[in-house]
Amino acid sequence: MWSRISKFFRDSETIFWARLQTGIGSLAMMATYTDSSLIQGILPPDILPWFLFANGLATEYLRRRRSEI
């Protein structure tokens, strides 16, 4: 099973991370269109900058993890 999952993401953690973000972002966008107060309990505005910073660090780590430099 893991080989099928790995093949779907082309054996890349960065592609997995990008697709996970896309899926979560799509769900958040649908929740926001339905009722904007739904997303505020999950990710308050004062936490958003820290979330974006941590997301950037995670993406950078996953991208460089397989770098051969």
CA 38 from centre of chain: 19
3-state secondary structure string across the chain: CHHHHHHHCCCCHHHHHHHHHHHHHHHHHHHHHHCCHHHHCCCCCCCHHHHHHHHHHHHHHHHHCCCCC
pLDDT digits (tens, 9 = 90+) for 10-37: 777 777 888 888 887 777 777 767 776 7
Amino acid at 56: G
Q: Where are the domains of the chain?
A: 2-64
Q: Which residues have CB under 8 Å from 16's CB, separation 6+?
A: 9
Check whether 63 has a pLDDT greater than 70: yes
